[in-house]
Structure 1
Amino acid sequence: MKIVTDHHGDGRACVVRIHGEIDMVTVPEVQGALESVMNRGCLNVVLDLQKVSYMDSSALGLLVWADRALQPKDGTLVLAGADRNVSRILEISGLVTAAPTLTAAADAADALSGLELSDAPDEPLWVREMAFPAHSASLARMRADVCEVLEPLEIAESASFDIRVAVGEALSNAIRHGSPHGEDDAVSVTVTAYDDRVVLVIADSGAGFDGESSSNGDPYASSGRGVMFMRALMDHVEFSPLPGGGTAVTLVRHLGKTAG
């Protein structure tokens, strides 16, 4: 096995590139590499799996360990570049959606672009605001309208789908939990485009929500996975109380290229 570690920016983001197979024999070596970068202050770890040809249950145990190690530090572990076979193992495990710190990316470069987002520039390219009645029958139209607004940015199809799902989950929560008066309440969506990212804010008028998933990572829970989906699909998710009551959910997605 070969392990190569690269630190980026201020050292809070790093890439651990694995070459070979991850099993009970090699897991201690990989864990040692992860411990080393975490001890040096790396809280956002990209585990590059592009050159990994095999992964078994021992590797899944390693990911559980990493999740528990990063949670108290508000860190993130991004699994990048997994091929079809390794992705299948990760899919079966359900860890990417269940573990709070784990996300996935197409490759290491895409993962880093999301982790190293700088402060947004003062002037956006444009801002669009929309308001909808808080009715579940409007959900499909709401998602479609948001996607239509994003079309000028020429976002990759996979990223556009991720945004659609994350926005859909935020809208569903706003209707289900943030609209005490039903259709008499309104849900607003503000879309702000920058050169390197898109920021979407979904606001409701409910009693407030802190962003904690009610499923608690239980794969058999009947509900409560929406927040996990948002955090897994977006580069940044934030829940904020509104002064007049209600909650604003901010979703940030890196565009990976200059916006149109």
Structure 2
Amino acid sequence: MTIWHFLPYLSTASKLGEPVLSEANVNSNTISQLNLTDTDRNKTNASVMLSVDSNLCYEGTYDIAKAIDELLTRKPKEIALDLSKVGIVDSSGLRSLLRARKACEEAGVQLRIESASKCMERALVMSGLAQAFQMTNRVQSTWLETSSSSLVAPHSESDSSCWAVREYVAVSDPYVISLLRDRAVAVAVEAGATDAAICDIQIAVGEALTNAFKHGSPHKGIDKIILRCFRCKEAVAFEIEDEGNEFDPDSIPEPDPSKMCDNGMGIYLMRQAMDKVEFQHNCPGNRVRLLKRLRSEQSSRLI
């Protein structure tokens, strides 16, 4: 097993026995900034296009609803969103879109999505929000396909012999979400994951890491977040551990897109994106295990 330890505030990252990862590299690759472009700034009482050219994830989504609020002061008839450059989206990004849509409804302004990246489309389909944004006929049906192979994720030390394993340990900080999510995606790429599978892994692992920071780190900047990545020919699996109090994931209701409610969206997206999701407690905190099948060999079973 290869183990990385990330120091507080992501100033450095060290692989045991190898050079450190520089602060410049960490900051430039992991911090998601939200860039908004109003393409019709000089027009009033017309259709306004708002382009979002960064990720819609926990680390950088809070401004999109504010940008919509600012546009509403110009009293446009319609606001169109260009989300074609969004690479990563999670429940925080979807919540931002829900708040923006609610504000537009209250103002009597139509909010529509003009274009969206494949990962953005996938998140909208999985969350059930594609219909709310009138995108049902535009997204590809292939986003809904699932595999039927029977793989079992590793659940003890004896299972690890079948998998290539990497472990990352980080101090709880909002910036580690992007950093660790990128590490998980890199493992999936090494395993031969397709673009659709990578989108799913970005969503699910990002949700689990966000929960570990928001809800599983009572002492921010002190508690640890652990990511383990397992890779084999047929699948990838991920374990995310925190130091938080026990919770019951089944007590959280599924979101209802028809009511524009965002509660429970994170766990719901994890279950939609991955083939298997398990929760454990007292590890010493919470542990979520995620499995994604990459191939559909019916005879494959890893124990």
Q: Please, what TM-score do these two structures have when normalized by structure 2?
A: 0.46
1:112 counterpart residue number: 148
- Preserved contact between residue 189 and residue 203 of structure 1 (Cα < 8 Å): yes
- After the TM superposition, which residues 37-56 of structure 1 pair with which residues of structure 2 at under 5 Å, given as runs? none
- After the TM superposition, which residues 154-233 of structure 1 pair with which residues of structure 2 at under 5 Å, given as runs? 154-212=192-250, 214-219=252-257, 220-233=260-273
Cα distance between partner residues in 1 of 2:167 and 2:237: 12
The Cα RMSD (Å) is 2.8
Q: Tell me by how many angstroms 1:157 deviates.
A: 1.1
Cα distance between partner residues in 2 of 1:105 and 1:239: 28
Whether 2:176 is the aligned partner of 1:138: answer: yes
Q: Tell me by how many angstroms 1:158 deviates.
A: 1.1
Q: Tell me by how many angstroms 1:204 deviates.
A: 0.3
Total equivalences in the alignment = 157
Greater relative contact order (CA < 8 Å, ≥ 6 in sequence): 2
Identity %: 30
Going from structure 1 to structure 2, the CA distance change for 1:156 and 1:223 (only over 3 Å counts) comes to same
Going from structure 1 to structure 2, the CA distance change for 1:131 and 1:234 (only over 3 Å counts) comes to same
Q: Match for 1:248 among 280, 284, 287?
A: 287
Secondary structure at the aligned position of 1:184 is classed as coil
Secondary structure at the aligned position of 1:183 is classed as coil
Cα distance between partner residues in 2 of 1:105 and 1:210: 32
Q: Match for 2:274 among 234, 238, 247?
A: 234
Q: Tell me by how many angstroms 1:150 deviates.
A: 2.9
Code of the aligned partner of 2:293: H
**In the TM superposition, what whole-angstrom CA distance separates every residue of 1:58-89 from its partner, at most 9, and x where no partner exists?**
xxxxxxxxxxxxxxxxxxxxxxxxxxxxx8xx
Structure 1: runs of 5+ lacking an equivalent:
1-86, 95-103
Code of the aligned partner of 1:251: L
- Preserved contact between residue 147 and residue 295 of structure 2 (Cα < 8 Å): no
Q: Tell me by how many angstroms 1:168 deviates.
A: 0.2
Cα distance between partner residues in 1 of 2:170 and 2:291: 21
Going from structure 1 to structure 2, the CA distance change for 1:213 and 1:248 (only over 3 Å counts) comes to same
**In the TM superposition, what whole-angstrom CA distance separates every residue of 1:133-164 from its partner, at most 9, and x where no partner exists?**
21113322221122223332121011011101
- Preserved contact between residue 163 and residue 231 of structure 2 (Cα < 8 Å): yes
1:43 counterpart residue number: none
Secondary structure at the aligned position of 2:221 is classed as helix
- After the TM superposition, which residues 59-70 of structure 1 pair with which residues of structure 2 at under 5 Å, given as runs? none
Secondary structure at the aligned position of 2:264 is classed as coil
1:84 counterpart residue number: none
Cα distance between partner residues in 1 of 2:203 and 2:238: 13
**In the TM superposition, what whole-angstrom CA distance separates every residue of 1:5-52 from its partner, at most 9, and x where no partner exists?**
xxxxxxxxxxxxxxxxxxxxxxxxxxxxxxxxxxxxxxxxxxxxxxxx
Q: Tell me by how many angstroms 1:125 deviates.
A: 3.4
- Preserved contact between residue 189 and residue 200 of structure 1 (Cα < 8 Å): yes
Cα distance between partner residues in 2 of 1:204 and 1:119: 19
Secondary structure at the aligned position of 2:255 is classed as coil
Secondary structure at the aligned position of 1:250 is classed as strand
- Preserved contact between residue 215 and residue 221 of structure 1 (Cα < 8 Å): no
Going from structure 1 to structure 2, the CA distance change for 1:214 and 1:119 (only over 3 Å counts) comes to closer
Cα distance between partner residues in 1 of 2:236 and 2:251: 24
**In the TM superposition, what whole-angstrom CA distance separates every residue of 1:162-217 from its partner, at most 9, and x where no partner exists?**
10110000000000110000110110001111231111000000002222364542
Code of the aligned partner of 1:92: Q
- Preserved contact between residue 201 and residue 249 of structure 1 (Cα < 8 Å): yes
Q: Which moved more, 1:158-167 or 1:119-128?
A: 119-128
- After the TM superposition, which residues 96-107 of structure 1 pair with which residues of structure 2 at under 5 Å, given as runs? 106=143
- Preserved contact between residue 234 and residue 251 of structure 1 (Cα < 8 Å): yes
Cα distance between partner residues in 2 of 1:200 and 1:171: 11
